Amino acid sequence: MNRFRLDDFPLLETAPTSAASLRAKLGEMLISSTSARVRIESVNPQTGEYRVVLQGTIDTEKTPFEKT
């Protein structure tokens, strides 16, 4: 899996995107985080619409395998 970088954040809001693509990018972000938590802001049972907030800290330390 690719490492998520700070420069990747704008890609999360690029529209349109598939659920699979968004899932992959969010997975990269979570795996690349030193801490993460989620807050469910709202769920509408009638429409299925939801609002979720992710909060965390991206590990910005370089690894020996990363290009500089």
Does residue 35 form part of some domain? yes
Does residue 31 form part of some domain? yes
Does residue 28 form part of some domain? yes
**pLDDT tens track of the chain, all 68 residues?**
688 888 888 888 886 778 888 888 899 999 999 999 999 999 999 999 999 999 999 998 876 666 65
Using H for helix, E for strand and C for coil, what is the string for the chain?
Answer: CCCCCHHHHHHHCCCCCCHHHHHHHHHHHHHCEEEEEEEEEEECCCCCCEEEEEEEEECCCCCCCCCC
Does residue 67 form part of some domain? no
Does residue 1 form part of some domain? no
Does residue 21 form part of some domain? yes
Does residue 52 form part of some domain? yes
The number of folded domains in the chain is 1
Does residue 63 form part of some domain? no
Task: Give phi and psi for 44, each to the nearest 5.
Answer: -105, 105
**Domain ranges, residue 50:** 6-58
